[in-house]
């Protein structure tokens, strides 16, 4: 792509540079690798781009390496997608209102919230279950009944806000309850915006109990089918690769495993009778923005390119939106340290900057307290201010994909793409994503990666400031979040909810739900599309989160 004269001039300069190098450093070599162990040179040139077959690209045009829109933040800033949730719904609502007051906004300046539910709800339990004692309202907002939705949203026009609902393994059930709640308020489900996680696939490498692989893909596809046919503005699926890096994997593994998961889910949806162009436009990704600055930027650019190529070449998608990798970037929690926690402000700022330079669509800047506690009001606002300063004071958002053309970034983008396609090919050869999940291959690979990282830190090969170098004896004290004691009140509310409903009607709805669930499971995919309506009917009969999820666990397995 470069003119002959340009390359000849570059060769002349490289010879001159080599003479200078030899004079200064003699035979010393400077070797380095990225955090994914990709060897890198100390200098890159146009010749490196020639060797990877670099081609000119523009934002908004296939294969979308430079972004999915023709212009990026000049049109609309990224979504300040800060995760929030703790205690009872009304306590979470206080934090929602605070962040809104501090200027947190979604696309086009709309109100938007990124709600995370507590550990109890995420696993699909009610607060009175002995299994969850001591965890109600921890690491998220308590949620068990439709009344809890009302405590959160009672005075909000849900057709004008975007709500991310992070409830993990209970996605299908929670949205059924949300639909029943919307109906009570007279809000058409065709008019609501938001995101569901639908990330049952991620338990291929997470250690929690969950639906087994075969059932997980059925349930994810079932949920997608319902949303495609009934909730046209709802983003039904979030391919959260974030937890690959949080579990100890590297950037290349994160990208490769995530896109392989997307491939497996696409194939399952096709088996359920959906056309890829019907559901892929509503897929999104949640991506880690970790410590290796340029590799993380290159990862994001490469993922956009790989996703577009896979969906075009493998699935024959025609709709350009099916090729778009929409993403939410989250700064890396695993890179934050409990030692000298104020250093985490610098880490999250750099990672937020990397996310912006990579052209992400939405950003969660973690609180600097992440290694110690849930965000306090002060640390939450500081995380928001980090994004606002980058947006308003740096002029960085004035240009789309400003790192394009950098010899190193373009070379590394090409290299990460090559590595990611290598992982996809390897997973295909092993029988696909589900087979790899069933065999434990993902956990083995991530465990190896985590061990290698730990060995580097222990040996000093990898420096973590304040952890294994520049350590200080004096403890840096910071105020941490203290959870309110809410478990007793949550259980009291649940009891009251059960007493006021028509339990005979509920019994019939749950019986019908189990019959449909068994049929869908045993005949899959013949009766795909019939489960979600049965869950919604049971939700209309005032079933609780734990009761609905309990039926699915019993039928589809839980281990």
**In this model, does residue 208 exceed pLDDT 90?**
no
d(CA 454, CA 456) in angstroms, rounded, equals 5
Asked if 513 and 548 touch (Cβ cutoff 8 Å), the reply is yes
Q: How confident is the model at residue 207 (pLDDT cuts 50, 70, 90)?
A: confident
d(CA 148, CA 272) in angstroms, rounded, equals 33
The residue-averaged pLDDT of 144-151 equals: 98
Q: How confident is the model at residue 205 (pLDDT cuts 50, 70, 90)?
A: confident
Query: What is the per-residue DSSP string for 528-542?
Result: TTSHHHHHHHHHHTT
Nearby residues of 68 by Cβ (< 8 Å), 6 or more positions away: 59, 60, 304, 324, 325, 326, 361
Asked if 538 and 179 touch (Cβ cutoff 8 Å), the reply is no
d(CA 71, CA 77) in angstroms, rounded, equals 11
Residue 549 pLDDT:
98
Residue 407 pLDDT:
97
Element (H, E) at 118: none
Positive/negative CA dihedral, 517, 519, 522, 528: negative
pLDDT digits 0-9 by tens, 360-408? 999 999 999 999 999 999 999 999 999 999 999 999 999 999 999 999 9
Asked if 348 and 386 touch (Cβ cutoff 8 Å), the reply is yes
Asked if 159 and 231 touch (Cβ cutoff 8 Å), the reply is no
**Cα angle: 67, vertex 71, 75; to 5 degrees:** 125
| Entry field: residues in the chain | 559
Whose CA is closest to 332, among 256, 245, 250? Answer: 245
pLDDT digits 0-9 by tens, 2-27? 889 999 999 999 999 999 999 999 98
**In this model, does residue 71 exceed pLDDT 80?**
yes
Residue 23 pLDDT:
96
Phi, psi dihedrals of residue 215, rounded to the nearest 5°:
-70, -40
Question: Residue 505 forms beta bridges with which residues?
Answer: none
Query: What is the per-residue DSSP string for 377-390?
Result: HHHHHHHHHHHHHH
Angle of the 213-230 helix axis to the 531-540 helix axis, nearest 10: 80
Residue 206 pLDDT:
86
**Cα angle: 97, vertex 238, 59; to 5 degrees:** 95
Residue 125 pLDDT:
97
Question: Residue 287 forms beta bridges with which residues?
Answer: 329
Asked if 239 and 261 touch (Cβ cutoff 8 Å), the reply is yes
Lowest mean pLDDT across 50-54, 159-163, 275-279: 50-54
The residue-averaged pLDDT of 248-256 equals: 97
**Cis peptide bond prior to 525, omega within 30° of 0:** yes
DSSP 141: B
Alpha-helical regions (H) of 82-128: 89-101, 119-122
Mean pLDDT of the residues in the chain: 96
Asked if 117 and 141 touch (Cβ cutoff 8 Å), the reply is yes
Residue 386 pLDDT:
98
Question: Residue 235 forms beta bridges with which residues?
Answer: 195
pLDDT digits 0-9 by tens, 47-68? 999 999 999 999 999 999 999 9
Asked if 514 and 521 touch (Cβ cutoff 8 Å), the reply is no
The three-state secondary structure class of 467 is: coil
Detail the DSSP E strand segments found in 362-431.
Answer: 362-364
The residue-averaged pLDDT of 417-428 equals: 98
Q: How far is CA 389 from CA 99, 113, 384, in A?
A: 15, 20, 9
Stated pTM of the model: 0.96
Phi, psi dihedrals of residue 4, rounded to the nearest 5°:
-60, -40
d(CA 511, CA 174) in angstroms, rounded, equals 19
Asked if 337 and 371 touch (Cβ cutoff 8 Å), the reply is yes
Q: What's CA 399's distance to the chain center, in Å?
A: 25
The residue-averaged pLDDT of 144-165 equals: 96
């Amino acid at each position: 792509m470069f003119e002959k004269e340009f390359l000849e001039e570059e060769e002349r300069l490289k010879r001159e540079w080599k003479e200078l190098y030899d004079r200064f450093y003699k035979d010393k070599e400077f070797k380095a690798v990225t955090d994914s162990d990709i060897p890198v040179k100390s200098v890159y040139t146009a010749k490196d781009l020639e060797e990877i077959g670099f081609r000119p690209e523009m934002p908004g045009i296939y294969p979308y390496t430079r972004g999915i829109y023709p212009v990026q933040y000049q049109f609309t800033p990224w979504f300040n997608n800060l995760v929030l949730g703790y205690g009872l719904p009304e306590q979470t609502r206080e934090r929602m209102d605070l962040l809104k007051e501090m200027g947190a906004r979604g696309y086009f300046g709309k109100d938007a919230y990124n709600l995370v539910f507590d550990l109890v709800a995420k696993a699909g339990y009610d607060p009175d279950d002995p299994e969850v004692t001591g965890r109600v309202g921890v690491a998220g907002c308590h949620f068990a009944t439709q009344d809890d939705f009302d405590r959160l949203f009672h005075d909000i026009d849900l057709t004008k806000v975007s709500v991310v609902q992070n409830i993990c393994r209970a996605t299908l059930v929670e949205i059924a309850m949300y639909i029943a709640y919307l109906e009570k308020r007279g809000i058409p489900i065709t008019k609501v915006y938001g995101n569901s996680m639908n990330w049952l696939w991620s338990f291929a490498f997470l250690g929690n109990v969950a639906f087994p692989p075969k059932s997980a893909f059925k349930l994810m596809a079932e949920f997608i089918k319902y949303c495609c046919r009934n909730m046209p503005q709802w983003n039904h699926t979030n391919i959260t690769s974030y937890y690959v890096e949080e579990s100890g994997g590297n950037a290349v593994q994160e990208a490769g495993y995530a896109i392989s998961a997307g491939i497996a889910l696409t194939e399952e949806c096709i088996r359920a009778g959906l056309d890829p162009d019907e559901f892929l436009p509503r897929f999104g990704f949640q991506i880690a923005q970790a410590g290796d600055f340029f590799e993380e930027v290159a990862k994001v650019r490469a993922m956009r390119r790989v996703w577009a190529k896979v969906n075009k070449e493998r699935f024959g998608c025609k709709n350009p939106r099916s090729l778009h990798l929409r993403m939410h970037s989250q700064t890396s929690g695993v890179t934050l340290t409990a030692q000298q926690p104020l250093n985490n402000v610098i880490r999250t700022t750099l990672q937020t900057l990397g996310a912006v330079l990579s052209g992400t669509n939405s950003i969660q800047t973690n609180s600097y307290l992440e290694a110690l506690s849930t965000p306090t009001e002060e640390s939450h606002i500081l995380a928001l201010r980090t994004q606002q300063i980058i947006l308003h004071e740096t002029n960085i958002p004035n240009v789309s994909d400003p790192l394009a053309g950098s010899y190193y970034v373009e070379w590394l983008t090409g290299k990460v793409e090559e590595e990611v396609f290598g992982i996809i090919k390897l997973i295909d050869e092993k029988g696909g994503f589900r087979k790899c999940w069933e065999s434990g291959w993902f956990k083995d690979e991530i465990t190896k990666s985590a061990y290698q990282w730990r060995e580097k830190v222990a040996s000093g090969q990898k420096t973590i400031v304040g952890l294994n170098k520049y350590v200080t004896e004096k403890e840096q004290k910071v105020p941490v979040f203290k959870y309110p004691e809410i478990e007793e009140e949550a259980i009291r509310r649940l009891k009251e909810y059960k007493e006021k409903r028509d339990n005979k009607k509920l019994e019939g709805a749950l019986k019908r739900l189990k019959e449909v669930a068994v049929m869908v499971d045993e005949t899959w995919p013949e009766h795909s599309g019939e489960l979600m309506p049965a869950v919604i009917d049971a939700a209309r009969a005032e079933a609780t989160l734990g009761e609905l999820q309990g039926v699915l666990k019993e039928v589809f397995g839980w281990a």
